[in-house]
């Protein structure tokens, strides 16, 4: 499969280039960066710290989508509507790992999914997606007598909070309780907050150092506490999952999918 990477100069972009060139079922079709980036004009493989890939980094996402069967996007939320539109226009499958998406980005993804397969997930790792399934099941089993707290920590450069994965875990817990996350979420505690409301799903966010991603879901009940967690040892787990998702799209009809669909969970 011919796969393009938009935002190839970032940490995840470089990891994606390495994963694609190492995968026998994939070929790097194109690589892009924002206009004015020092990466423009360089070989994408060399930029990623390996042998030349024969693909020159450009600032032309339209050409990248036209050249690829699938495109992987780990960029910024504001770029997602453009990329979703280009995917639909050129018939390219789209894999989105960008977090911090809002209603405008979700609407653009829904529109693109009418024409092409789109896999969108806040976290592409197998372990995290298994964790989401476990959290939903435990939340359903234990009920509101157990308070739920989601604790997450990422590197100091991460700009959105809670993380997309933290929110995904919150949605899984809310689904287990049969409620929407918006009505159950407890965020931004500070000062005199009063007694914790029953049935709430709390978030605690930490940022610092070079932590790739730590997530723990705490179920705190009368006399006992259950904790389910995941620690990411490197970003390669996200890149590998994204490439796997792109290859999976080859045989899929248009639609919006998640990693649970890709992994058959």
Whether 114 is a known active-site residue: answer: no
CA distance 93 to 113: 9
Strands 147-154 vs 201-207: parallel, antiparallel or unpaired = parallel
**Looking at 83, 90, 155, 158, which residue is catalytic?**
158
Whether 230 is a known active-site residue: answer: no
**Looking at 154, 215, 230, 244, which residue is catalytic?**
154
**Which positions are catalytic?**
154, 158
């Amino acid at each position: 499969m011919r796969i393009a990477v938009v935002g190839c100069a970032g940490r995840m972009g470089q990891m994606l280039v390495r994963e694609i060139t190492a995968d026998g079922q994939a070929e790097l079709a194109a690589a892009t960066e924002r206009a004015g980036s020092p990466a423009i004009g360089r070989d994408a493989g060399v930029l990623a710290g390996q042998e030349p890939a024969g693909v020159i980094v450009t600032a032309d996402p339209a050409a990248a989508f036209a050249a690829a069967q699938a495109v992987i996007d780990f960029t910024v939320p504001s770029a997602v509507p453009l990329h979703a539109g280009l995917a639909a226009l050129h018939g390219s499958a789209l894999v989105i790992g960008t977090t911090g998406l809002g209603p405008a980005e979700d609407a653009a993804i829904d529109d693109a999914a009418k024409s092409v397969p789109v896999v969108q997930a806040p976290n592409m790792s197998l372990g995290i997606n298994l964790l989401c399934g476990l959290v939903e099941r435990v939340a359903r089993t234990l009920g509101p007598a157990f308070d739920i707290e989601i604790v997450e920590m990422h590197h100091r450069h991460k700009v959105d909070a809670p993380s997309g994965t933290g929110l995904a875990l919150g949605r899984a817990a809310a689904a287990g309780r049969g409620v929407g996350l918006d009505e159950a979420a407890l965020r931004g505690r500070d000062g005199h907050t009063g007694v914790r409301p029953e049935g709430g799903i709390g978030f605690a966010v930490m940022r610092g150092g070079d932590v790739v991603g730590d997530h723990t879901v705490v179920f705190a009940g009368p006399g006992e506490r259950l904790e389910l967690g995941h620690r990411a040892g490197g970003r390669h787990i996200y890149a590998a999952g994204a490439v796997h998702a792109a290859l999976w799209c080859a045989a899929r009809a248009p639609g919006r999918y998640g990693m649970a669909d890709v992994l058959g969970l």
